[in-house]
Amino acid sequence: MLKAEGGMWMHIKEAARQTEMSVRAIKHYEEKGLLQPEKDESGYRIFREQDLERLRQISVYRKLGMELTVIREVLNDPKKERAALERLYEQKQSERALCEQQLCAIRDLLAQAGDYGTLDQILVYPSVCEGLREMLPGALGELLSAHFAPYLQMEAVDEEQQEAYAQIISFWDHCELHLPFWVRGYFHVAARLWGDQIQRLAQAGDTAVKEALKVDAQRYERIRTQVQQNTARSKRFSFSFHLKRRVNRELKRCGYYDVFLPAMERLSPSYRQYRRSLLALEEQICTELGISSSVEGRMGMRSCDEQRMR
């Protein structure tokens, strides 16, 4: 922390480290009007202890499932906290999959027996998928959650998984994708469409993984045909071909294939099994057809159940 007139302060990266949040999430909360950090002479955000406490408060509310609009109301008027917590408590009681840990935290808050720092350390998101959506807000989080939902319905329990999860958050915090406006617009539309399917994908769970790994003769031939079509000269003049090639080049440049996907494999055993099986299948088909495989893959035109960012 740095010291200046008015007390100790820090920049956003240190604030993210101290609160165990992502830089993207902090900026998102600022955009939503949940906090207003000061800025130094150079225009950089500076965070004081009260800002960190506010971030921990936001984190607790979000882990409890409170909506951002409600959080903003509570932060703007602390007198509304009790009513908001009581509504949230009733909501949690009525849910079938009620989380006792969250109820205990709400009771502590209502009884003023708990502090946000302690509760923030105790509470966790129901799944890695939920955590990613919160740490990577906006279209990016929605897309990643939709693509990987069947493989992320678990908690990061061991040290390797926790390190992989932290690496994924850090990767997207420092990753700047340089894509044309029309491509970013396409992703925003896709995020809206796929976001509605996250719950369905999550509920599919192990079934979706098993189906993805099941390769009978009919499905093998269908994939083989798709690979052939994807390498055909005529495809090089299509919109989907140029979109995929442009995105893949940018993903490769930023380290998506070398950093993010290996971290995903360490985080999720089911995803590791799925991806390695898919890569082996692709290599087999490419060998049969006498064409070269690549890090981006030839199977970019898979059917709906296979259409994932491997």
Q: Are residues 66 and 193 in the same domain?
A: no
pLDDT score for 77: 94
Backbone φ and ψ of 3, nearest 5°: -115, 135
Domain boundary at 99, 123, 147, which?
123
Cβ neighbourhood burial of 100 (10 Å; 0-12, 13-18, 19+): exposed
Residue 28 has pLDDT above 60, yes or no: yes
User: Residue 212, class by beta-carbon neighbours within 10 Å (0-12 exposed, 13-18 middle, 19+ buried)?
Assistant: buried
Determine the structural domain holding residue 26 and report its residue range: 2-123
Contact 178, 251 (CB under 8 A): no
Q: What is the pLDDT of residue 304?
A: 32
Give me the pLDDT at residue 298, please: 46
Q: Phi and psi of 50, rounded to 5°?
A: -65, -30
Amino acid found at 219: R
Q: Answer whether 252's CB lies under 8 Å from 164's CB.
A: no
> Looking at the structure, do residues 196 and 273 belong to the same domain, yes or no?
yes
Based on the fold, state whether residues 69 and 10 are members of the same structural domain.
yes
302 pLDDT tier (thresholds 50, 70, 90): very low
Q: Are residues 134 and 252 in the same domain?
A: yes
The answer on 133 and 106 residing in a single domain is no
> Where is the domain boundary, 65, 94, 123?
123
- Give the separation between CA 225 and CA 58, rounded to whole angstroms: 50
Report pLDDT for 2.
Answer: 53
Whether residue 155 contacts residue 128, with contact meaning beta carbons closer than 8 Å, is answered with yes
Overall domain count for the chain: 2
140 contacts 175 by C-beta, under 8 angstroms: no
Q: What's the pLDDT score for residue 96?
A: 56
pLDDT score recorded for residue 5: 45
Q: Same structural domain for residues 150 and 274?
A: yes
The answer to whether residues 236 and 134 touch, using CB atoms and an 8 Å cutoff, is no
Give the residue from 250, 262, 242, 245 showing the smallest Cα distance to 310. Answer: 262
The residue from 92, 123, 154 where one domain ends is 123
Residue range 10-26: mean pLDDT, rounded: 93
